[in-house]
Structure 1
Amino acid sequence: MSLPVEAVAALQAFQAVGSWEQRARMLMQWGERLPALAEADKIDANLVQGCESLVWLVGHLHDGHWQFAASSEARLIRGLVALLLARVNGLSAAELQAVDLPDWFNQLGLSRQLSPSRSNGLNAVLQRMRDLSHTQN
């Protein structure tokens, strides 16, 4: 499966930096670049269950391809979510089902950032995306 353009850009950027500290800094920068979610979207119905940090997620289907937007109060989570969005935006519902979250963060060299609770939270975000893609097919 080919990667979305944003995902390729993320991979190139993260694989180009050698040190763990540089990757951590870059992760924060990705989080800062995440477009702000409208206050109207920050409602309980859009909260992802299963995250320790508050994460809001909205998704829209455009010509068979999903576009998601998300926000979190936690800087590190915002960065991880931004990288997840880079990986999934533009995918079809079927492609979304096939996304391998651990593999994606492993390729980015960020597996160390994924404590069990963060990993569970990101899996919850991905699951929520998959659920949304099922309800609006």
Structure 2
Amino acid sequence: MATEVFEELVEDFEFLDDWEDRYRHVIDLGKAMEPLEDALRVPATKVDGCASQVWLHANFENGVLHFDGASDAMIVSGLIAVLRTLYNGLSPKDVLGVDARAEMGRLGLNEHLSAQRSNGLTAMIERVRETAAAQA
């Protein structure tokens, strides 16, 4: 189950014919995010398992997930933005019900990420799922 915002992103990606256009779009999504406050770039929010520096700050307001993040790599910042469209606004139960790999596959991202980026994406997904599981 994906959010309405993610479904809109899937539609956007359907108009992008090649991987380079999709890659640029992911980077643009990352650039459009609000920067993560420096005070939130702490060891507790740092995601291990990523080749680049990644921080995810998640909280639940009114029973739904809201998370922000940052990375020192442009493509990873974009992946954070994509994950935000996938998960933000969902309840903990719904977060746990999302097959993130399948949803990311709908964007054509799985087969074009390097092994390191793929591992980092998995680490970010697991962090979001752990946060949701703690609230469920």
TM-score, with normalisation over the residues of structure 1?
A: 0.91
Residue 109, structure 1, aligned to residue 108, structure 2: yes
- Give me the whole-angstrom Cα distance separating, in 2, the residues matched to 1:39 and 1:11: 31
Structure 2 residue ranges without an equivalent (≥5): none
Partner of 2:133: 134
The 10-residue stretch of structure 1 (98-107 or 39-48) with the greater mean CA deviation from structure 2: 98-107
- Give me the whole-angstrom Cα distance separating, in 1, the residues matched to 2:16 and 2:133: 37
Contact 2:92 2:135 in 1 (8 A): no
Partner of 2:118: 119
- Give me the whole-angstrom Cα distance separating, in 1, the residues matched to 2:132 and 2:108: 28
Structure 1 residue ranges without an equivalent (≥5): none
Contact 2:28 2:78 in 1 (8 A): yes
RMSD in angstroms over aligned alpha carbons?
1.4
Q: How many residues align?
A: 136
Partner of 2:19: 20
Equivalent position SS for 2:44: helix
Partner of 2:64: 65
- Give me the whole-angstrom Cα distance separating, in 2, the residues matched to 1:78 and 1:88: 15
Contact 1:15 1:109 in 2 (8 A): no
Cα offsets for 1:64-108 (capped at 9, x unmatched): 110111100100111111101110111111111122222122101
Partner of 1:80: 79
- Give me the whole-angstrom Cα distance separating, in 2, the residues matched to 1:92 and 1:63: 9
Instruction: Read off the aligned partner of 2:51 and give its amino acid letter.
Output: E
Instruction: Read off the aligned partner of 1:98 and give its amino acid letter.
Output: G
The ranges of structure 1 where at least 4 consecutive aligned residues each deviate by more than 3 angstroms after the TM superposition are none
Partner of 2:29: 30
Partner of 1:7: 6
